Structure 1
């Protein structure tokens, strides 16, 4: 049996033993066949990795069983949602766990609290459709909204055009139900200093994790406060500054964007935003891209939902033979598309 704290190369894995372990506890579909493996070799990126196996869990217990089997046999894990990643985030050489087939439910939607409890394979547009009758929406909306999953959005801290108004996925995550590679299951969210101390004192794996997080934050508090870029769309890397007390000691938001490298997401409670009843799009023209960029701070003072830019080179690509934009733009060589919302 492999050391559970090491990741074995595929050639070192007892494939037959791993297959038996998966089938023993897993109620969903597991495939080691070439067809399924070929289907999961790619995502929306240019990268390719042939996985050892593909698992389609039907229940949360299936995910827990799959992680346990992978741990016992030293198999790398790749959680996968819609496969819309453009940086190779949803492919790997070990076990790919695809939640988008069965774990797609909204377990609870509370219009009064403006929250939704969701499974990781839920498609974003399905959440939009469920929230819309209540005048609500989930703010972050990447261009892949018709096929990306909430678990995937949590994995890469997705943004979308409306992050100007409603922030990134991390800004809208209230809590996460997570599973660590060693089998520890936790529900994490905002954590006050008092709660952190209480949990850190527990003689359990969970207690040791809270103690380690408390030590990490205390040791590097000055660096976390001064060296983390204060950007509204900072989505790359580990957002350890979310652990600071002034940010609520928010473990769920610190985990958002970590691409499954720290935990496997079993479920999430996310915050919903009020959707404006009326929207209008204004296109503004500028002499060049720097001029358009200089105008953005003043535009933000008006509370737009979206501010997106394009320049003459992008527009020229639409005027090549065989392509017609069909859009009359204001004079200029750069443009800002500004969406505003209101009561109607």
Structure 2
């Protein structure tokens, strides 16, 4: 159980002075120093508890500028901030003992949808499922997936460079960001987008903070190129630290968004984003492969990823056993039958997508041929194929409930989610 928060006094004097001055400077959003709000914002989806001094809820970008500008004054240099979206991060990214800046209460509008060019412009507080519901009728969706998609905001996804199911095919949030509206920590507004070499050169020659930032990053990119190449791991989902590897994109354009995505708000407030939308695949099938052991399922993961899968997840016997006791099992039980040896000890759920049934059928023929012609020491017992969106949704819903299922275990001892994201090459998972 998470320890009870200790009662504490109200905000410290410098924070009270800051908030009073902020209102005098024309801040139009909400400001809360109430203990109830501070307790709520002391927690997120992690195990940590860090009560903030106060919470502010900007009404628009001008309010964010006011917060950042005022904090740049000498008397308020000790004031600290952390932007917050849906509070769904599992590593305490949105927690602070300073001021929590909630960008979800008011700044949650979908500003523009361009179906022809396949993009949307949204405020930072727009929830992922909210956006996908708005573009569904156009046959589009925002592709980066994560379990709390009904609560996670686009701004929060950008701050953490979020990804999850489907990242094999669709990558991370950064791969879908076209432009960002930002407010730097001194109150400077900047519209960040990839810059051609000539445009980048022009920005570097600006005699302001924007120019200084671009000159600094260019120096790091050039002078520390060998160190960056040596130290940064060769991973397709590296979300730790500033992504200096991708300061230049595949076209040779300079992209400041590579370091803003995943910076967890430490470099700037993201207030708005222009993001790429992806056509929804028309056809889907999910293979559910059963194994003698969890180790065998992990050891097979690398080979399965090479079969053009869109998603691949491994589930152990503990979660499967708990799912059997949950209402979700009625929708998925036919895809996880018992074998003569008993229930599977591990399962790999592998999804394949296609634009039409013929393409999907061809993929499945290749995949099933690979599964049936493999060596006999893989630990595979057999597999089922779930076809169609309804079946796939049911299976992935079971996967999304994993943490909740573990939390509902009977008895006094139960697991607590803590470190949920590990960085291991798929071919080394079992080691």
TM-score (norm 1): 0.90
Instruction: Tell me the distance in 1 between the aligned counterparts of 2:298 and 2:149.
Output: 27
Where does 1:16-95 land on structure 2 (aligned, <5 Å)?
Answer: 16-24=16-24, 25-72=26-73, 73-74=76-77, 75-95=79-99
**Helix, strand or coil: the match of 1:96?**
strand
Q: Which has the larger radius of gyration?
A: 2
1:141 matched residue in structure 2? 145
Task: Output one character per residue of 1:263-319: Cα deviation in whole Å (capped at 9) or x when no partner.
Answer: 111111111111112222221123334443444444334432211111223323446
Instruction: Tell me the distance in 1 between the aligned counterparts of 2:16 and 2:115.
Output: 48
**Helix, strand or coil: the match of 2:131?**
helix
Whether contact under 8 Å (1:289, 1:333) holds in the other structure is yes
Where does 1:155-170 land on structure 2 (aligned, <5 Å)?
Answer: 155-170=159-174
Where does 1:1-344 land on structure 2 (aligned, <5 Å)?
Answer: 13-24=13-24, 25-72=26-73, 73-74=76-77, 75-244=79-248, 246=250, 248-318=253-323, 325-326=329-330, 327-328=333-334, 329=336, 331=339, 332-342=344-354, 343-344=356-357
**Helix, strand or coil: the match of 1:14?**
helix
**Helix, strand or coil: the match of 2:237?**
coil
The Cα of 1:83 is off from its aligned counterpart by: 1.0
Whether contact under 8 Å (2:142, 2:277) holds in the other structure is yes
Q: Taking structure 1 as reference, are residues 293 and 128 closer, same or farther at Cα in structure 2, changes over 3 Å only?
A: same
Whether contact under 8 Å (1:173, 1:253) holds in the other structure is no
Instruction: Tell me the distance in 1 between the aligned counterparts of 2:150 and 2:56.
Output: 23
TM-score (norm 2): 0.72
Whether contact under 8 Å (1:67, 1:77) holds in the other structure is no
2:372 matched residue in structure 1? none
RMSD: 2.2
Whether contact under 8 Å (2:12, 2:53) holds in the other structure is no
Mean alpha-carbon deviation: is it higher for 296-305 or for 210-219? 296-305
Structure 1 stretches of 5 or more lacking a match? Answer: 1-9
Q: Taking structure 1 as reference, are residues 221 and 194 closer, same or farther at Cα in structure 2, changes over 3 Å only?
A: farther
Q: Taking structure 1 as reference, are residues 319 and 31 closer, same or farther at Cα in structure 2, changes over 3 Å only?
A: same
2:365 matched residue in structure 1? none
Task: Output one character per residue of 1:56-98: Cα deviation in whole Å (capped at 9) or x when no partner.
Answer: 1111111111222333313101100011122111111111111
Instruction: Tell me the distance in 1 between the aligned counterparts of 2:124 and 2:249.
Output: 28
Whether contact under 8 Å (1:193, 1:245) holds in the other structure is no
Structure 2 stretches of 5 or more lacking a match? Answer: 1-9, 358-431
**Helix, strand or coil: the match of 2:72?**
helix
**Helix, strand or coil: the match of 1:151?**
helix
The number of aligned residues is: 334
Task: Output one character per residue of 1:127-146: Cα deviation in whole Å (capped at 9) or x when no partner.
Answer: 11112111111111110000
Whether contact under 8 Å (1:318, 1:324) holds in the other structure is yes
